[in-house]
Structure 1
Amino acid sequence: EILAKTPAIPSGCQWGIFLRNHDELTLEMVTDEERDYMWAEYAKDPRMRANIGIRRRLAPLLDNDRHSIELFTALLLALPGSPILYYGDEIGMGDNIWLGDRDAVRTPMQWTPDR
C-alpha cells in the first residue's frame, strides 16, 4: 500500500532509500502520546534522545539482534530504488550515548575489532 501511494518520479530517476540516516529520528510530527511510546520503546535513556527525536544507530535500535538487522537490510535491498547504508551499519556498529548532540551516532568507523 505504501509503495502504491509513493509519488511518481521522473523517468530515469529512482528513490534513494535508507533504514537510518546520520541524524536523529525526528518525532516532531507525532502526537505527545506517540512520542512517549517511541521514547519508551527505542530511547529509554534520555541520552539516546536529541531535540525532539531519537539519536541511535540501526543496530542498537534493533537491540543488536543480528536476525532483525539482516531482515531489515534484506528488505532495504529488495525495495525499488538505490539502497543507502550509513557507514557502520554494514558491520552493526553501535553508538556512544555519552557523546553530546548528534556525535553519538557520528563516531569514527570501527576499522578493527579493538575500537
Structure 2
Amino acid sequence: EILAKTPAIPSGCQWGIFLRNHDELTLEMVTDEERDYMWSEYAKDPRMRANIGIRRRLAPLLDNDRNQIELFTALLLSLPGSPILYYGDEIGMGDNIWLGDRDAVRTPMQWTPDR
C-alpha cells in the first residue's frame, strides 16, 4: 500500500532507501500521543532522544536481536530502490547515549572487538 502511494520519480532514477541514518528519527509529524508511545517503546531514557525524535542505532532499536536485524536488512534489500546501509549496521553496532546531540549514533566504526 505504501509503495503504491509513493510518488513517481523521473525515468532513470530510483529512491535511496534506508533503515537508519546519521540523524535522529524525527517524530515531528506524529501526534503527541503517538510520540509518547514511540518514546516509551524505543527511547525510555531521555538521553535516547534528540529534538523531537529518537537518536538510536538500528541494533539497539531492535533490542540487539540478530534475527530481527537480519530480517529488516533482508526487507531493505528486497525493496525497489538503492539500499543504503549506515556504517556499523552490518555488524550490529550500538550507540553511545552519553554523547551529546546526534553524536550518539556517530561513534567510530568498531573495527575490532575491543572498540
Q: Secondary structure at the match of 1:107?
A: coil
Structure 2 CA distance for aligned equivalents of residues 93 and 66 of structure 1 = 11
Q: Give aligned-pair identity as a percent.
A: 97
| Residue correspondences, number | 115
Shift of 1:35: 0.4
Q: Secondary structure at the match of 1:94?
A: coil
Please list every run of 5 or more consecutive structure 1 residues that lacks an aligned counterpart in the other structure.
none
| Alignment match, 1:91 | 91
| Alignment match, 1:58 | 58
Shift of 1:101: 0.7
Shift of 1:69: 0.3
Q: Secondary structure at the match of 1:68?
A: helix
Structure 2 CA distance for aligned equivalents of residues 76 and 93 of structure 1 = 18
Q: Which runs of 4+ in 1 moved over 3 A?
A: none
TM-score w.r.t. structure 2 length?
Answer: 0.98
TM-score w.r.t. structure 1 length?
Answer: 0.98
When the two chains are superposed, the root-mean-square deviation of aligned CA atoms in Å is: 0.5
Please list every run of 5 or more consecutive structure 2 residues that lacks an aligned counterpart in the other structure.
none
Shift of 1:29: 1.1
